[in-house]
């Protein structure tokens, strides 16, 4: 048993454990954290498969950004835990049924066969490149168009978010930074030279 195999079982255990906790924990914040644990463990498994780009991007994007925002929302919302869990037991048999069917599918269609055939060679290693460089080359040559279309989808996301949430409220005082920076002393203060006046101290009453 090599260290890699041990590490795989270690991470796989935590991935499955985290996934189970996501649906069984009562506290939504704990559930989100379990999801983070699952993502992290899966990233580690990918790392073991030498897919370092996918592993690290999973952490940067999902663990580092998406789940943080998700955690934000969960913390801000006052989720009624009891209400959310209503029907959990009732729907459990259906859920287990679906899960079993999916498992059976995967085992029969993919699992058993995958155990018999050797895994395909690592394309990056065949080209003598690192995984990141290989993905980068593929992304910017063969998959250039999908890459750019994905950018358009993200643009739609921004436009939609702005269109659905931006409200111009009246009476809000915004700081206009460029106006502030553009201010010159000459426009604000005028220095006038005038002769010093010397009043007669004795004239005061």
Site residues (CB under 8 A) for other proteins? 2-3, 27, 29-30, 33, 36, 52-53, 56-57, 59-60, 63-65, 68-69, 71-72, 75, 105, 109-110, 113, 130-132, 141-146, 149-150, 152-153, 155-157, 159-160, 162-164, 175, 177
Smallest distance from other proteins to CB 25, Å: 11
Residue 198 beta carbon to other proteins: minimum distance, rounded to whole angstroms: 40
Q: How far is the CB of 7 from other proteins (least distance, A)?
A: 11
Task: Tell the residue number behind the tokens 């502030």, with chain if given.
Answer: 180
Q: List the structure tokens of 56.
A: 């690290």
CB 25 within 8 A of CB 57: no
Rounded-to-integer distance, Cα 13 and Cα 89, Å: 25
- According to DSSP, residue 205 is labeled -
Q: Is the CB of residue 18 less than 8 Å from the CB of residue 35?
A: yes
CB of 23 to other proteins, least distance (A): 17
- Choose between 88 and 140: whose C-beta lies nearer to other proteins: 140
Report the C-alpha gap between 101 and 90 in whole angstroms: 19
Token pair for residue 90? 């009732």
Say how far apart CA 105 and CA 169 lie, in whole Å: 54
> How large is the C-alpha radius of gyration of the chain?
31
Give 117 or 191: the residue with its C-beta nearer to other proteins: 117
Least distance between other proteins and beta carbon 200 (Å): 45
Q: With respect to other proteins, which residue has the nearer C-beta, 20 or 106?
A: 106
């Amino acid at each position: 048993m090599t260290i890699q195999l041990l590490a795989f079982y270690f991470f796989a255990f935590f991935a499955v454990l985290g996934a189970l906790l996501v649906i069984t924990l009562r506290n939504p914040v704990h559930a989100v954290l379990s999801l983070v644990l699952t993502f992290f463990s899966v990233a580690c498994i990918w790392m073991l498969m030498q897919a370092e780009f996918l592993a690290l991007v999973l952490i940067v994007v999902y663990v580092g950004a998406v789940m943080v925002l998700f955690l934000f929302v969960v913390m801000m919302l006052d989720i009624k835990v009891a209400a959310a869990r209503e029907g959990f037991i009732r729907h459990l048999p259906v859920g287990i049924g679906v899960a079993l069917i999916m498992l059976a599918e995967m085992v029969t269609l993919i699992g058993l066969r995958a155990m018999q055939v050797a895994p395909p060679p690592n394309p990056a290693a065949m080209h003598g490149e690192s995984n990141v460089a290989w993905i980068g080359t593929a992304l910017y040559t063969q998959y250039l168009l999908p890459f750019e279309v994905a950018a358009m989808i993200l643009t739609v996301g921004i436009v939609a978010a702005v269109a659905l949430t931006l409200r111009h409220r009246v009476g809000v005082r915004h700081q206009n930074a460029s106006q502030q920076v553009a201010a010159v002393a000459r426009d604000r203060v005028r220095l006038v030279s005038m002769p010093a006046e010397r009043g007669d101290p004795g004239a005061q009453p």
